């Protein structure tokens, strides 16, 4: 058992994943703060104009999809690295994996 643990701990792939998870944990925190800014901006725009701003809406949707991709990676739901290691548009195609 101890030998198996030592084997797993010595794998570079595991340490690379840990580093990327720490990096993306910081990124997802910033993305969520940015999402709150988008929420407030859209709210104020809607209060002042009476309708949603399509540019803010589009940006917010993209940000939400990116957040989803980050979270999927962090919970081991995908091995596909989020942006900037893959195209921004790739996040839109992600689906929650089904159990086998």
pLDDT of 19 > 90? The answer is yes
pLDDT of the residue at 92: 62
Q: What is the pLDDT of residues 23-59, one digit of tens each?
A: 999 999 999 999 999 999 999 999 999 999 999 998 9
Grade residue 94 by pLDDT with cuts at 50, 70 and 90: low
Residue 91 token pair? 């996040």
Residue 96: the pLDDT is 53
The answer to whether the pTM exceeds 0.85 is no
Domain ranges of the chain: 24-93
E strand spans, the chain: none
Tally DSSP H helices, then E strands, for the chain: 3, 0
């Amino acid at each position: 058992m101890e030998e198996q643990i030592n084997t797993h701990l010595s794998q570079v792939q595991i340490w690379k994943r840990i580093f990327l998870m720490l990096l993306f944990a910081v990124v997802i925190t910033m993305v969520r703060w940015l999402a709150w800014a988008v929420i407030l901006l859209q709210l104020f725009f809607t209060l002042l104009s009476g309708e949603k701003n399509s540019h803010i809406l589009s940006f917010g949707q993209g940000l939400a999809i990116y957040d989803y991709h980050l979270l999927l990676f962090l919970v081991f739901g995908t091995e596909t690295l989020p942006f900037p290691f893959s195209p921004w548009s790739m996040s839109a195609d992600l689906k929650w994996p089904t159990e086998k």
